[in-house]
Structure 1
Amino acid sequence: MKLPLNLCSIIAGLAALGAATEGVVYARSADMAPAQTSELPPYLQCVPYAREVSGIAIFGDAYTWWDQAEGKYLRGNEPKVGAVMAFVPTERMQLGHVATVVKVIDKRTVLLDHANWSPINGRRGQIERGVKAVDVSAKGDWSEVRVWYAPLQDLGTTRWPVAGFIYADGKPKKAKPDTRLAIAPAPKPQVSLTAPATTKPSSDFSKAFAALTEPASPPAARREVTAQAAPARAAPPPIARKPVALPPVKPKPAPQSDPYAAVLAQYD
């Protein structure tokens, strides 16, 4: 049966649209598995595969990994082997995506291991190993990437936004307390409850103590030097003093003799 020309054009257009929309509906978390129907069979999601390959113990949809890693793992914008590239959710990839870096080619090219990105042989949830991802951001900070897409056998045309990298071997270190201003407590004095034992002072100590009590006398040589060095002092000139006029002394009257006293003095 020959199809009309317009119907063939519609089918070809739909096929081209499917090839150009790489990774649109395949970046779903396995923690939110889809219903098992005949139209949508179960398939491997990107989250459990990234967790198994990287060893990063984060659960939940891919778009939550970046925020969940805060305080648990170090994060940054430099690709390293073993790190997980966390994609930012978009309208076409609402649940986000995670992929593990397995090799760094250069500062703008890496190889990824991830699942549920490209449909291979018409099947979703396929594992892709060692596929290329290229940084296409204006600043070279890995905020936008293009990823290998199997149906095209080349990099996809979409520029996917990336939050950054979560490092598996970079758990945050706990801050140590600052001890620079800490003051050590003063040691407590040791109090003895027993009387100290009395000991007899040594002879050396006694001699030393006796020497302290004796008057110190300078050595003979020191005295000689001192006597020779001391200059003779000249006698000071006499001080001229003015004579002081004294008041005349009045003679005291002679005491009158007591006749009775003279008689008594003979018999005393």
Structure 2
Amino acid sequence: MSRKHHHIKGAEVSCCVKYFLFGFNIIFWVSKHSFCTVCLWGVLSNLSSITDLGGFDPVWLFIVVGGVMFILGFAGCIGALRENTFLLKFFSVFLGLIFFLELTAGILAFVFKDWIKDQLNFFINNNVKAYRDDIDLQNLIDFAQEYWSCCGAHGPDDWNLNIYFNCTELNPSRERCGVPFSCCVKDPAEDVINTQCGYDVRLQGELDRQKYIYTKGCVGQFEKWLQDNLIIVAGIFVGIALLQIFGICLAQNLVSDVKAVKANW
């Protein structure tokens, strides 16, 4: 009698695994809200107009990923709390599928890195063209140029693509032959940003420009940033991968505990 009681007592669902898995799925819910924010920005900014993907709108990719993460988060949370083996298996299988897709995407990104570079160049140049047309895109390219200390896709002359900054004689804009303030080399002594610092700067020679603005393109600076931070970037991706494997292991462990308990009924 005592032996039978001991056997039943030994087969129980681990509360630590159960609530660890529940907490893990909270990450999916938070991530889902982040993707929804990106989707909303993309819809309002008409992201498809500044990408060269054959008419495909990248926003739909974010919507699909956000929807999948919502479903996975729901399945994981309910499966953990209700000890539902079907939902837990669904969660672990699809999380494994996502891990495989991410691994495939990483390999394809390495193989087609030249295509990705061309897409980045196309994206930046289209941002340059639409710089004054959309405040969100304007803030995006200003942030990129300030963060990576760059100007244009390949250099300041890329701003000839913009109707306000081009150097044609018919251009009546005061910003003619200039660049946005985000291209300017910052003076540490200045507390207030001088938004007119880039006026007429491209009328000067190459050496004179370097005193006032960044002369390197954002594509090259982004590549340099990736190389300089390769360990950090790789560490983030490895960390995400390990987190997904950890979630799969938790779900499978919880399924095994539930099956062991049911086997003793």
* Common fold: TM-score over 0.5: no
For Structure 1 versus Structure 2, the TM-score category normalised by the shorter chain is under 0.3
Structure holding more helix per residue: 2
Larger radius of gyration between Structure 1 and Structure 2: 1
Higher RCO, 1 or 2 (CA under 8 Å, sep at least 6)?
A: 2
* TM superposition score normalised by structure 1: 0.22
Structure holding more strand per residue: 1
